[in-house]
Amino acid sequence: MTSEVVENEFEFYSKAEKYWKDVPATVDGMLGGYGHISSIDINSSRKFLQRFLRDGPNRTGTTRALDCGAGIGRITKRLLLPLFKTVDMVDVTEDFLTKAKSYLGEEGRRVRNYFCCGLQDFSPEPNSYDVIWIQWVIGHLTDNHLSDFLKRCRAGLRPNGIVVIKDNMAQEGVIMDDVDSSVCRDLDAVRKIIRRAGLHLLAEERQENFPDEIYHVYTFAMR
């Protein structure tokens, strides 16, 4: 539980904001020096997502997606804009969202909103999104804030919409990273928070072909 490793909530959030302000607004910056894994990541995410976008009575729509912890728009550009008519982006770092406007190029005109906000304070517009994509950012929320945010995401889904989390998983327990002021939870802790938010897991997958030295990465789809 984050309550065991986060001593001061205000400090936990403000330290993270300060950390990201100093990170270069590049793909390599977004990925902590692992920019070379971006294509592997995007290709796996696309395969994972497309199983929900295929034909069928419960098919997830392709009208609108939300990119949470969007940074400069790496996922918006390569995963979401090719699949959805419009995308909204939310990130706590204003400089990243400013950079996104040039990084996204011509297709960026289909980004409707750039929300500058921490996810602990952000509410997706109710009944608005087919997919809410949350990648490499849940570690910046306490358990309570993550659970509450996921509840708001659930309310933000359109019929047959899904919430997707893709993130690092610890082997056991909750590990604090003092450098970027984040936590890494194990699989059980994340599943517990998902259930607490009233969401049901539809699929869970471990990312393959990532460097051995980094945390295992898992993708969850839920509604």
Per the annotation, does 93 bind a ligand? yes
Per the annotation, does 92 bind a ligand? yes
Per the annotation, does 91 bind a ligand? yes
What is the Cα–Cα distance from 37 to 72, expressed in whole angstroms?
16
Sorted by sequence, the CB contacts under 8 Å of residue 220 that are 6+ apart come out as 164, 165, 166, 190, 194, 201, 203, 204
Nearest to 6 by CA among 189, 143, 149: 143
Per the annotation, does 50 bind a ligand? no
CA 153 from centre of chain = 12
Sorted by sequence, the CB contacts under 8 Å of residue 18 that are 6+ apart come out as none
Q: Residue-wise over 65-83: b if at least 16 C-beta within 10 A, else e?
A: bbbbbbbbbbbbbbbbbee
Provide the residue type at 217 as one letter: V
Neighbours of 148 (CB within 10 A): 17
Per the annotation, does 118 bind a ligand? no
Per the annotation, does 141 bind a ligand? no
Which helix (H) or strand (E) segment holds residue 146: the answer is helix 143-156
- Residue list, annotated binding site for S-adenosyl-L-methionine: 69, 74, 91-93, 119-120, 135
Q: Which residues sit in the known binding site? A: 69, 74, 91-93, 119-120, 135
